[in-house]
Chain A
Amino acid sequence: MTAGTTAPKPPGADLPEHPDHLWRDAEPRRAYDVVVVGGGGHGLATAHYLAKNHGITNVAVLEKGWLAGGNMARNTTLIRSNYLWDESAGIYEHALKLWEGLEEDLDYPILFSQRGVLNLAHTEQDVRDSVRRVEANKLNGIDAEWLGPDEVAKVCPIVNVSSDIRYPVQGATFQPRAGIAKHDYVAWGFARRASEASIDIIQDCEVTGFVTDADRVTGVRTTRGTIAAGTVALCAAGHTSTLLDMLGVRAPLQSHPLQALVSELLEPVHPTIVMSNAVHVYVSQAHKGELVMGAGVDSYNGYGQRGAFHVIERQMAAAVELFPVFARAHLLRSWAGIVDVTPDASPIVGHTPYENVFLNCGWGTGGFKATPGLGWAFADTVAHGRPHPLVAPFGLDRFVTGALVDEHGAAAVAH
């Protein structure tokens, strides 16, 4: 493209070219069969699968700001399915299988790179929990291994597995099929396919209320006018409570800042993904070479898309403790998303008290990795008016019956 290209390209410079057209910035029409509220990964994936799997294309995706500008633009792009409980393993493994074919499906280079994830164990109880999860994964048909410290060092030589650190690495679970993908490209890939299917993607269109008729919602009020809707699918992540408040529906959601950060571009040092709950770090090295790292969730509710710095400092301490070679990497940029967390750290998907309004929220730190799986199952849910079996365990009613899917208590692995 540019003249004078002579020197060899350095590694990591080869980001793919984007397509010449991504999506049509649509004006809202008066009515749609399905109105998806939220133009993030989940909303766009739902739109794509509504068209692809169910032939439903009279669909609008409403985005209050710029497309995929919420958590989709702010996450650390981890993809894995090594969850403890059958219910979680089901939806995340379904998602992972879709990830494995997503480049072809979307015809978009989403840079999906299956480089494996290590979940480190630092205490005897970590080891028990890890073995428990690995064994459960295997029985669920999910690739998983338990590795001792020496094997951890083989998979990721820069992890400090010596016994002289504060919480020595006792081993790790390893899921080889886990990976990363380029978050923006994933969103744009879904948006492009949805747009090609003549689904309307409408930006700068904030939902301000709902038009209801008894136990149905007939329309969505927005900053760009009222839009009639046959079915409404809520995919608003951290902003879901605001929408539910308009509907008078309660859900056990709390929105918290979740911070992440990147370093400058570095020569490849980190071949996989490493997560440590005990020491609170998760890190991968993205395609261009930057280290991408997530911090813990900030303690208080907040919609400000910024968090407290002590969380980042603690994160850096953990990173340097586990990866001594990171000492002089530089924090280049930090940011925060808004994660909607539930009491059992599992999502809420399914019916609402309104018969034609379906809910998808509460993914906490797990939303990105679920994107295609959730979109696929939620589209099916919307198309058939009942929860798809993969999301059925995640209904709002579980908090009443007590049938929780407790991923933070038992699995000790969030994110």
Chain B
Amino acid sequence: MQLIACPWCGPREEIEFSYGGQAHVAYPEHPASLTDEQWAHFVFFRDNPKGPFAERWSHSAGCRRWFTAVRDTRTHRFVSPPEMTS
């Protein structure tokens, strides 16, 4: 049960947030031009590192803004302050 530092609201209880998985996975510019395999990788495949992981979070029971943050999946602790960028 962590405190998560929402970049807009400050530290709040973990239960106020929703997890959005790996960050920086952009929607493909031209899905139609992708192979089935490339498309499957976009839809289903995400990194799963044991260590620092750039993730998306949403302060869903608060300001409802999305943000990204780096967290260490071994300790569950945030290793860099969340960024306001979407």
Residues of A within 8 A of B (CB): 239, 241-242, 245, 250-255, 299-304, 306, 308-310, 340, 343, 399-401
Contact = CB atoms under 8 A, between A and B. Distances in A.
A306 B41 CA distance: 29
Nearest to B74: A303
Contacts of A254: 21, 46, 48
Contacts of B80: none
Given A254-B21, A302-B73, A401-B36, A308 B2 contact: yes
Interface size bracket, B side: 20 to 34
Interface string B64-86: 00000001011110000000000
A254 B74 CA distance: 13
19 contacts: A241-B47, A241-B50, A242-B50, A245-B49, A252-B45, A252-B46, A301-B21, A301-B53, A301-B55, A308-B1, A308-B14, A309-B1, A310-B15, A340-B48, A343-B44, A399-B40, A399-B45, A400-B36, A401-B36
B37 interface: yes
Interface string B9-44: 000001100110100000000000000110011011
A253 B22 CA distance: 12
Contacts of B47: 241
6 shortest interchain CB distances as A-B pairs: A241-B48, A252-B44, A400-B40, A299-B19, A308-B1, A300-B19
A27 B71 CA distance: 37
B73 A301 contact: yes
A401 to B, nearest CB: 7
B76 A304 contact: yes
A301 B48 contact: yes
A255 B48 CA distance: 7
Nearest to A401: B36
Contacts of B44: 252, 343, 399
B1 A241 contact: no
Nearest to A312: B1
Contacts of B45: 250-252, 399
Given A304-B76, A308-B14, A309-B1, A239 B46 contact: no
Nearest to B36: A400
Contacts of A255: 48, 50, 73
B73 A304 contact: yes
Given A241-B47, A304-B74, 6 more contacts: A239-B50, A241-B50, A254-B46, A301-B73, A302-B76, A308-B1
Contacts of A302: 73, 76
A299 B48 contact: no
A309 B14 CA distance: 10
Given A254-B21, A401-B36, A300 B55 contact: yes
